[in-house]
Structure 1
Amino acid sequence: MIAEELLPWYDRHARELPWRLSPRQKRANPEILFADPYRVWLSEIMLQQTTVATVKGYYEKFLTSWPTVQDLAKEELDSVLSAWAGLGYYARARNLHKCAKVIAEELGGVFPDTEEALLKLPGVGPYTAAAIAAIAFGRSAVVVDGNVERVIARYYALEDPLPGVKSEMKKFAQKETPIDRAGDYAQAMMDLGATICTPRSPGCVICPIQVVCLARKSGIAEALPKKAPKKEKPTRRAYAYLLLSEKRGALLRRRPEKGLLGGMTEVPTGNWIEQGDAERNPEFEQLAQWAKLDGIVKHTFTHFHFEITVLTTKLSQDLDVVAEAVQGKWAHKSEFAGLALPTVMKKILRHADYM
């Protein structure tokens, strides 16, 4: 089994990560068996679709602001979204806050310790439930992320492309998951995929499981896992309406709670059009005379590209009336750091030289 060779390697070479109880820490504190479930949960939610290097700073910021799940549950959603800004996939932040409330208010601050119970929490899917169960509670749960998929695909030389081969990968991953030290094994597989069994130029010569890796024996390790051709991303277009006041700053508003960038702060925009040119919004057009900035702002989301034409205007009167019409609030540059401004909105403000 993979664990027989991998766990001794992990004991020597495990990455030191702020949310992890490493083998070195366990040796120093043998009475502590598992990592804090709050820290594991917080890190796993942040690590979805995001690199370790990016997450570290956000994780430490969150832990400093909200050391316990009860602290996070008591916080206003706007503050959580503001702290999350720039990390992307903002539904994670909304579910994080919702989940904290469930744990603090309905479960007495205690995390469930089984996959089945964890799956009932907001924002917790099969991978996250398995990771928390294994790492925080020592359950023999099958943890399969992108790193684990790559290791399994190469170890068993699975040549069918993703995503179709995922179910087969899961069966082999289940076969390899040990009963004892399941959490360490899961983290060891992640470390192996992140540091040695990398997507390009894998370090097969120093891999602890190289002797029985079928892809290495066949010389096809770097070609696996294969992926089905990606569909070309569509492009959506929109106008952004940046209202400015010398006294009050920029007029911003909160996006609807549901949907893309839900609950985040935005420069007001018109409809996001996928076919054809962007459409100007009559409701905004009647508020002022607008000047179009040269160039466009480009941003890429998971499923589409986004191109924004920025219109600006300066107002000196009727500021409250306009704010009410737009359902927005005025904010000075000095206040931007405390707002939940996603990256695309920061790009719009920078394009207008207003950030």
Structure 2
Amino acid sequence: MTATPTAGPGRTPRRIGPFDVPAIGLGCMNLSHAYDTPPTPEAAEHLLRTALDEGVTLLDTAALYGFGANEELLGRVLARVPARHRDRIVLAGKCGMTGVGGRRVIDGRPETLRRTADEALARLRTDTIDLYYLHRIDRRVPVEESIGAMAELVAAGKVRALGLSEASAATLRRAHAVHPIAALQNEYSLWSRNPEQGTLGATRELGVALVAFSPLARGFLTSAPPDPDGLPARDIRRTMPRFDARNYPANLALRRALERIARDAGCTLAQLALAWVLARAPHVVAIPGTRSVAHLRENLAVLDLAPPGEALDAAGRVLNSTTVHGARYNEDTLAEIDTERCGAAG
């Protein structure tokens, strides 16, 4: 039972609205936000340039990440990309959740979304954002109003395609009725199965790509799982129940079983986890994040691997919404999210 090289289904392009992209893109959040101390600007730029050299075409950022710093980072790198290569890049951004006065604020009002888009265009040094997500659903604002404002951005040529992030199937349908939605971005991994409660089927039905963020479970399914006791105070995993002292030891036991499956399949644990996500459906695209060039290449190698189906099935039986210990977010954060819940609020 060994992964087969040069036979991976990931090399077949996957569709996001008007764009064809490889099955694995790059989530850029951890280069500026959320996890311990960000890398130096030089290291972050090197990682992004390497990703582009290795064939990554989908880059995912947001106004929230580093409160604009992540957009500025991508703007610096993309400004030096030759025009003939820039046309291949799908630049994805997000509005509707930003940093105000040093804190995170969800705001889906049309005037806020218009202003955020103009600020993002300036930081990204571009005239057009290829894919623009509503980062969170603002419960005070009908999604139709938020998407209506974003549709105006499309009409103005500032945005090419629209997406939603952390939204339920019902909200997706409401938004799609206002303007075509190209992508729905939800957390999806072996231990976060929310899309299987409705959005995986709805996206397939509507012709919408499902973009899986945190497919490696916040670093848990990599060669170097986090040590919760050693995380900086501001690392978001300190607030996530799956990493706390009540749940983490039991989750590590599940991880050890997954390591054995990966070893028998002839791939790394991260590759097994990514292959599992990509095998869920041909309209699924994964955007793992990393600060390591070695891990970047390890992730991209999945495009040329085909782990045996029995290994993927075994991994799914070991770690899933019923076996994972703890919710994916604390109760306050879960209350903000418009998405189906699964198992342990996962």
Which fold has the larger relative contact order, with Cα–Cα distance below 8 Å and residues 6 or more apart in sequence? 2
Computing the radius of gyration over CA atoms, which structure comes out larger, 1 or 2? Answer: 1
The structure with the greater share of residues assigned to strand is 2
TM-score by length of 2: 0.24
TM-score by length of 1: 0.24
